[in-house]
Amino acid sequence: MRSPAMGQCLALLFLFAASAWADEPIAPAPDGFDKQREGIERGQIERVEYDSKSIGVKRPVVVYTPPGYSKDQKYPVLYLLHGIGGNEREWQRGGLAEVILDNLHADKKVVPMIVVMPNGRATAEALPRGQFRGQSQAFAAFEEDLLKDLIPYVESQYSVKADREHRALAGLSMGGGQSLNFGLAHLDTFAWVGGFSSAPNTKPAADLLKDPADAAGKLRLLWLSCGKDDGLMNVSQRFHDVLAEKKVPHIWHVEPGGHDMRVWKNDLYLFSQRLFRDAAVPAKVAAPATPQAAPATPEQPAP
């Protein structure tokens, strides 16, 4: 665990890096990053159920364990959230998360980690097919389920490092908003937070960061990204602008593309490599010219 003094030093380093690294672009994922390779060791992926006392039912969750996973070793955990039309399988089916992570492991570009992909719609009621809108209360209720039920389950069933320094929370679109809302509200639980093309469920940054200096001292990484042609760009842009105004170190990455899985797979590739490193990754916070808003492009339900 870091001491308070060390946390303050890292915060200062982040602030320095924010100005010193402002113009450095982030290279996109290479061709083939999401294609299954032959001849490499693979992680394991399984769909299990946990008891949700907050909801009153058993809930499904997909868990990826890295290549060579052993109960003799402790691993950090990334909680990876889906979008409004998805479920616990979206990152597996559409995002090919296990393929991307296996390839990164083979290239030794990522710290071995467990990735937990839950259903972010926390309700006992079945969702009518295609009726994924009007579920804001269920998505907000996932905060309690995540903190009180899912995390304790994961830490009782898998060999994990059970402290904030070894927990990350990130997601796409609606799940990006959940990640920013829940992660920044619970920096005693998460030190690494990422929002990919975050949706309008995202709370204002000023509301989530009442004490910017405290947040800067606790965050190991705060990541914001969005496709430049995304109709929801204004959500991420506003959030970034407030972070920059309040001098909260973060990475702000605008990339080619719209509100789609090609962008989010690239985000997972880039974000995961920066997690659970001993040294802080320099934050790049320069604001490009505000992109012109594209027409709204609602995400599609997971297959």
pLDDT in tens, 223-276: 999 999 999 999 999 999 999 999 999 999 999 999 999 999 999 999 999 999
CA angle 212, 226, 121 (to 5 degrees): 80
Q: How far apart are the first and last CA of the chain?
A: 41
For residue 298, is it within any domain?
A: no
- The predicted pLDDT at position 126 comes to 64
Q: Which residues, listed in sequence order, are joined to residue 223 by a DSSP beta bridge? A: 194, 251
Q: How many CA atoms lie within 13 A of 28 on its CB side?
A: 15
Please check whether residue 129 lies inside any domain of the structure.
no
**Residue type at position 233:** M
**DSSP helix/strand/coil, 170:** strand
Token pair 């949706």: residue: 199
Domain range enclosing 174: 4-123+135-273
In a domain, 106, yes or no: yes
Alpha-helical runs (H) found in the chain: 4-20, 90-93, 97-106, 136-145, 151-157, 174-185, 205-208, 212-218, 233-245, 261-273
Q: How far is C-alpha 263 from the geometric centre of its chain's CA atoms? A: 13
E strand or H helix at 81:
strand 77-81
Tell me, yes or no, whether 302 lies in a domain: no
Count how many domains the chain has. 1
What tokens does 42 get?
Answer: 């693979």
Rounded to an integer, what distance in angstroms lies between the CA atom of residue 188 and that of residue 30? 35
State how far the Cα of 77 lies from the Cα of 282, in Å rounded to an integer.
22
- Name which of 243, 239, 231 is nearest 203 in CA terms: 239
Whether 13 is covered by a domain: the verdict is yes
Q: What is the largest CA-CA distance in the chain?
A: 52
Q: What is the pLDDT of residue 152?
A: 98
> Contact, 226 vs 236, CB < 8 A?
yes
- The reply to whether 301 falls in a domain is no
Residue 279: how many other CB atoms lie within 10 Å: 8
User: Identity (one letter) of the amino acid at 217?
Assistant: G
pLDDT less than 50: residues of the chain: 1-2, 4-23, 280-303
Q: Does residue 55 form part of some domain?
A: yes
Instruction: Give the pLDDT of residue 128.
Output: 55
Q: What is the pTM of this model?
A: 0.85
231 with 296: CB under 8 angstroms?
Answer: yes
Q: Tell me the pLDDT of the chain averaged across its residues.
A: 86
Is 284 part of a structural domain of the chain?
no
**Do residues 114 and 66 make contact, with C-beta atoms less than 8 angstroms apart?**
yes
Q: What is residue 292's predicted lDDT score, i.e. its pLDDT?
A: 34
Residue 245 is predicted with a pLDDT of 95
Report how far residue 297's alpha carbon sits from residue 260's, in angstroms, rounded to the nearest whole number: 9
pLDDT at res. 8: 45
| Domain CATH code at residue 30 | 3.40.50.1820
Q: Are 236 and 198 spatial neighbours (Cβ–Cβ below 8 Å)?
A: yes
